[in-house]
């Protein structure tokens, strides 16, 4: 089994973060991980946001988030436990992730409100 690579906080880049969070599924996965303290399994995090996404694609999404330095993953048997690296990234780029997550939340609320009006 291939070892999991987690970049050091000093190697995390703004470009890598923005790329990782440019996908709607990945930003939703990260937003869900960022608001919980306990490690989450992939299936526990994905919930409804990944219901129509194949498992292989979800694995790739988690890999992109991990490679960008946004999450830490640990294998436990057949499951993968994921935690946010929000605090580490916040120390490197103060305010970046809270701003992105706030914008994502506002966008999601706006989309939900528009859907209810239809």
Output the pTM of the full model: 0.88
Q: What is the pLDDT of residues 54-113, one digit of tens each?
A: 888 888 999 999 999 999 999 988 889 999 999 999 999 999 999 999 999 999 887 777
Q: What is the pLDDT of residues 9-54, one digit of tens each?
A: 999 999 999 999 999 999 999 999 999 888 988 878 776 555 678 8
Instruction: For residue 35, report the phi and psi dihedrals to the nearest 5 degrees.
Output: -100, 5
Sign, CA dihedral 48-49-52-57, equals negative
Name all domains of the chain by residue range, CATH numbers in brackets: 12-117 (1.10.10.10)
């Amino acid at each position: 089994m291939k070892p999991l690579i987690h970049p050091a906080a000093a190697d995390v880049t703004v470009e890598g973060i923005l790329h990782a969070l440019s996908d709607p599924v990945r930003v939703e996965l990260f937003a869900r991980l960022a608001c919980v303290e306990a490690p989450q399994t992939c299936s526990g995090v994905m919930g409804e946001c990944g219901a129509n996404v194949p498992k292989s694609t979800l694995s790739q999404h988690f890999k992109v988030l991990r490679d960008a330095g946004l999450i830490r993953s640990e294998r436990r048997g057949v499951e993968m436990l994921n935690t946010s690296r929000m605090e580490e990234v916040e120390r490197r780029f103060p305010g970046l992730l809270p701003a992105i997550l706030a914008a994502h939340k506002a966008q999601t609320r706006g989309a939900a409100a528009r859907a209810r009006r239809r």
